Amino acid sequence: MKQIIVAIDGYSSCGKSTIAKQLAQYAGYRYIDTGAMYRAVALCAIRNKISDIRNQMSEITALLPQIHIDFAIQPDGTQHVTLNGEDVEKQIRTLEVGNAASQIAVIPEVRRFLVAQQQQMGKNGGIVMDGRDIGTVVFPYAELKLFLTASPEVRAERRFKELVEKGEQPVMADVLADVNDRDYRDTHRAESPLHQAEDAIVVDNSNMTREEQMSHIYRIFDEKCK
């Protein structure tokens, strides 16, 4: 059977990565979390004491030649992002790195640097890739494009729970403000803003259980592969 490219885009905290991972497992495809790549660049910038991203863009661009990002497959089949060979999966999942990633993602040189690697990773198909610009910029010719969405309140609640599970002590109002800020930045940046590809199938999961959502998505995938 033909190995297709599945592009999954959508707002932050829509459950994109969980859905993408499960679909990849169902299909027997490789999964690439492109947000983790932006987060790894952000972590590298933070480690290099870059604290004012908006005014230090050229310093971030100058770091790119020294940045090597990859994914290491774990014994349980999950993938951890690596930064110059170091497993940084845990370090990139904080609010601080997420915020920095969203600011770094507006830099055209950073996007070009990561998009070229993503295109290389998916060129032979058999891939599920999630992000913000996968169906519009990285793989405009992807055979299947999904655009995920849920209300900001539902997404803030999900993010709040995740942060609590990680041992952080978030404030709900801050988490909601952060979701709204990130949405604004992701959709209003000049370079590759988040928007729905014309041929994307929209899945609003505000009122769906995970099982309902996955069986809906599996049906769409099976139909595409027929």
CB of 62 to ligand DC, least distance (A): 20
Residues 26-85 that bind ligand DC (CB under 6 A): 34-35, 38-39
89 binds ligand DC (CB under 6 A): no
Structure tokens at 144: 């299947």
Q: Which stretch binds ligand DC (CB under 6 A): 130-138, 152-160, 168-176, 206-214?
A: 130-138
> 6 and 27 in contact (C-beta within 8 Å)?
yes
How far is the C-alpha of 178 from the C-alpha of 143, rounded, in Å? 33
Q: 10 Å Cβ neighbour count for 150? A: 20
How far is the C-alpha of 171 from the C-alpha of 160, rounded, in Å? 8
Q: Quick one: which of 4, 24, 53, 101 contacts ligand DC (CB under 6 A)?
A: 101
> 108 and 100 in contact (C-beta within 8 Å)?
no
Q: Which stretch binds ligand DC (CB under 6 A): 96-104, 141-149, 162-170, 212-220?
A: 96-104
Residues 145-174 that bind ligand DC (CB under 6 A): none
Task: Pick the closer one to ligand DC by CB: 16 or 217.
Answer: 16
102 binds ligand DC (CB under 6 A): yes
Task: Pick the closer one to ligand DC by CB: 118 or 213.
Answer: 118
Q: Which among 33, 121, 50, 40 has a CA at the least distance from the CA of 83?
A: 40
Task: Pick the closer one to ligand DC by CB: 38 or 71.
Answer: 38
Task: Pick the closer one to ligand DC by CB: 4 or 138.
Answer: 138
178 binds ligand DC (CB under 6 A): no
Q: Could you give the angle at the alpha carbon of 117 between the alpha carbons of 96 and 145, nearest 5°?
A: 85
How far is the C-alpha of 173 from the C-alpha of 148, rounded, in Å? 23
131 binds ligand DC (CB under 6 A): yes
CB of 119 to ligand DC, least distance (A): 12
Task: Pick the closer one to ligand DC by CB: 4 or 37.
Answer: 37
182 binds ligand DC (CB under 6 A): yes
Burial of residue 74 (CB within 10 Å: 0-12, 13-18, 19+) is exposed
How far is the C-alpha of 219 from the C-alpha of 226, rounded, in Å? 11
DSSP of 3-23: --EEEEEE-TTSSHHHHHHHH
Task: Pick the closer one to ligand DC by CB: 52 or 223.
Answer: 52
Residues that bind ligand DC (CB under 6 A): 12, 34-35, 38-39, 98, 101-102, 105, 131-133, 182, 186
